[in-house]
Amino acid sequence: MTVIDAINIVDLVAPAQRAPAKGRILDTVNVLFYEDGIRNVGVDRIISASSVTKATFYKHYRAKDNLILEYISHRHTHAVAELGAIIAAAATPKIALREFVASIIAEIDSVGFRGCAFINAAAEFPQQDHPVRKIVTMHREWYTDTLENLLRDMGHPVPGDAADELLLARDGAFTGGYAGDSIAASAALTRITNRVLAESTNA
């Protein structure tokens, strides 16, 4: 199954267009899957927490696997919109990158932080050809491409390499911020960002 096939399985309509019951189910698993793990949350718990009937759940999703794909796809869509808004509002690519890093640090410091939802999902689905892993791969490629474009606009001499470095620094900050010292993780991410910016001629 390709990434496009995986995404086409789910209904990625805007929340305002989504059926109320379907929206409640997605909102519920957006919390439960992130907090407790995708495989640890069963259908009966989802139905109870969403205040829907079993018939309603299966009408909208037919199986938990379809809901898992919508959950991870919804997370990607939200990330695209969030970073897009940051870039659109920033006066310069440098400011956009600073605001992006600030948003990561704010997320690390937020109540209920459990690390990166995509890294967590990848750990639960180790098979490289699983549809969830394909969406995770697509998400990470989008992140790298977006950062590379920002760095190219700043005049970085090797924007692709720098984008890889920033994404890995983000991964490390999310993991270290959850499993270890959140202050140290955020400070390390800031130092790496400062060094990358210093290498950019237009920063």
Helices (H), 52-181: 54-61, 64-89, 93-108, 117-124, 131-153, 159-179
Confidence (pTM): 0.86
pLDDT 10s digits, 66-101:
999 999 999 999 999 999 999 999 999 999 999 999
Check if the beta carbon of residue 82 is closer than 8 Å to that of residue 185. Answer: no
Output the average pLDDT for the chain.
90
Residue 200 has what pLDDT? 87
* φ, ψ at 95 (rounded to 5°): -65, -40
3-state SS of 43-61 is: HHHHHHHHCCCHHHHHHHH
The rounded distance, in Å, linking the Cα atoms of 173 and 183 is 9
**In the chain, where are the structural domains located?**
3-198
Residue 18 has what pLDDT? 57
pLDDT band at residue 1 using 50, 70 and 90 as cut-offs: very low
pLDDT 10s digits, 124-134:
999 999 999 99
pLDDT 10s digits, 124-183:
999 999 999 999 999 999 999 999 999 999 999 999 999 999 999 999 999 999 999 999
CA distances from 145 to 79, 89, 189, 192 (A): 14, 19, 19, 18
Span 3-198: which CATH code?
1.10.357.10
Exposed, middle or buried: residue 51 (CB in 10 Å: 0-12, 13-18, 19+)?
exposed
Q: Is the pLDDT of residue 9 over 70?
A: no
Residue 203 has what pLDDT? 59
